[in-house]
Amino acid sequence: MAGDGKYIYCITEDGQGETFGPLGIGGRGDQLRAIHYRDIGAVVTDAAIRRYPVSRENSLAHERAIEVVFKGHTVLPVRFCTIAEDEVKVRAILEREYAEFKGLLERMRGKVELGLKAIFHEELIYQDILGRYEEIRRRKKAVAAMPPQEAHWRLVEIGRMVEVALEVEKARVREEILEALKGACHDFRLTHRILGERMIMNAAFLVDRAQEAEFDRRMDGLAERYGERIRFKYVSGFPPFNFVCLTIKLE
């Protein structure tokens, strides 16, 4: 549309002249397509030149567009709300950053992001702490014979000790999990999105598609090793959102 810019979702290779559907941000149904320079391209839609709020709707539209392209191509996700003035400016960016984009595309080719959350079982972890930490176990037993007023403050102290022990246990188990999975991935990222005191880790792994079966096998081994003590939430098939987020200089 006249007066619109080109909203850039990701950088890719191949796909000359290919379109990917009416997936543009802003709900107008703008067509997702690639603008090419040599053998790389920027996947864009027409979009009004403005600052789009980081709402759930806009974030999902941005990510969904990248995921659709990722089904058939290597992609480098671009930072949310990157809008070039026109097609000429997009090609100028591709020409200027060609060597960097080409190198990153080579590194990401054939790789997929897997997400993993690990969460302690609510009751079993506290049973394990009592079993592992003699001082906590001893103090908890002693509290039973104390007057209520004194017992209250002793229980507060024990609660703090349990919190410290829980963090120690999370760090220990996190290292065990990472050690078991490192050999089946190229890279990993521990995210800061930790939900609840019992979450051990929230991680992303960059895995070669040819290694997915081996990664799955190791996940099965972890599930068997920890049994009911740890609940794993494991999802696969994502673009490398946690490993690439290009910040493109528009000028």
pLDDT (tens digit, 9 = 90+) per residue, 126-169? 899 988 998 988 888 887 777 777 777 788 888 899 999 999 99
Amino acid at 21: G
Q: Do residues 80 and 142 share a domain?
A: no
- pLDDT value, residue 17: 74
Residue after which a domain boundary falls, among 67, 92, 109? 109
Q: Do residues 119 and 234 share a domain?
A: yes
247 is a domain residue: no
- pLDDT value, residue 230: 97
Q: Do residues 94 and 158 share a domain?
A: no
**Cα separation of 17 and 84, whole Å?**
19
Structure tokens at 69: 């392209």
pTM value is: 0.87
125 is a domain residue: yes
Residue after which a domain boundary falls, among 64, 79, 109? 109
Instruction: Describe the crossing of helices 212-226 and 148-181 by its angle, rounded to 10 degrees.
Output: 150
- pLDDT tens-digit map of 53-72: 999 999 999 999 999 999 99
- pLDDT tens-digit map of 182-213: 999 999 999 877 778 899 999 999 999 999 99
The neighbouring-strand residues paired with 188 are 205
Q: Please give the residue range of the domain that contains residue 39.
A: 5-109
Averaged pLDDT score across all residues of the chain: 92
243 is a domain residue: no
Q: Any idea what the CATH number is for the domain that residue 121 is in? A: 3.30.70
**Cα separation of 11 and 34, whole Å?**
9
- pLDDT value, residue 143: 78
**Cα separation of 157 and 154, whole Å?**
5
Closest CA to 241 of 1, 79, 34, 25: 79
Residue 15 has pLDDT above 80, yes or no: no
Largest CA distance in the chain: 80
- pLDDT value, residue 149: 74
Residue 176 has pLDDT above 60, yes or no: yes
pLDDT interval class at 240 (50, 70, 90): very high
